[in-house]
Structure 1
Amino acid sequence: MAVRKIEHVGIMVSSMEKSIAFYRDIVGFELLGTLDHGNGTVKLAFLATPGAKETELELVEGYNGNLPAEGKVHHIAFTVDDLEAEISRIEKLGVTFIDPDITTLPNGARYRFFYGPDGEWLELFQPAT
């Protein structure tokens, strides 16, 4: 298996500024950066615990505000070295993909979502080089 680590956990937020302040000032994370998705609607922010950037928290604003009250966790992403190879490998195992194609972000990172056994959203993520 070519998954190297849990890349990030995506959490849906209604206010990027309010959520960044909360996770920074109350939880103690540091802001690593922000990014416009490129579709004109979604904004992203990435945070991590100080000095440890193994697993990040991704805040997602503008995607879907109609999620259940019990939680806004949107997906878990796994870092891979070769996105196409991993897609090919799990496709042969009968995985159902959510998006029809690989998405490339403006910073060059690429990803594709697929369903877990209970419908949970999982992401194969290849960082920008």
Structure 2
Amino acid sequence: MKQIHHICIQTTDYHASKSFYEALGFELVQESPNFHTRDFNSWLKLGDFYIELQTAKTDETLTGYTKHAAGPVHFALYVEDLAAEVQRLETLGVTFLPKHGGNIYFVVDGHLSKVQAPEGTIIELRDTFLIQ
């Protein structure tokens, strides 16, 4: 294995989720409408990392996201200037998950912020690497 290629995220509001990830800096590189009984199956790219964004299959109902389920809870993106990125996303109306009274807070070895996508996925923003 060499690196993570992509994660797949399902959404009930395709256009809102696509706009959200584009606001985070992802570029839409492929959009396939009517893909194997899904309204959309698309690929968004940030650096060498991809999100496969898809809607439910016809006659399938997706359950709501919860961070209390087994499996991935969130994914993290590295940003060079956390304060500037948070300010930019605040002006775009992105949903933050504040803690300790603010959108940026300190953890053991640095600061972070968490935002939530329209489908519920939690994305952590960090300006430091945990593992050296």
Q: Which structure has the larger Rg over C-alpha atoms? A: 2
TM-score bracket, shorter-length normalisation: 0.3 to 0.5
User: When the two structures are superposed, what TM-score results if normalisation uses the length of structure 2?
Assistant: 0.41
Q: Which has the higher contact order (CA 8 A, sep 6+)?
A: 1
User: When the two structures are superposed, what TM-score results if normalisation uses the length of structure 1?
Assistant: 0.42
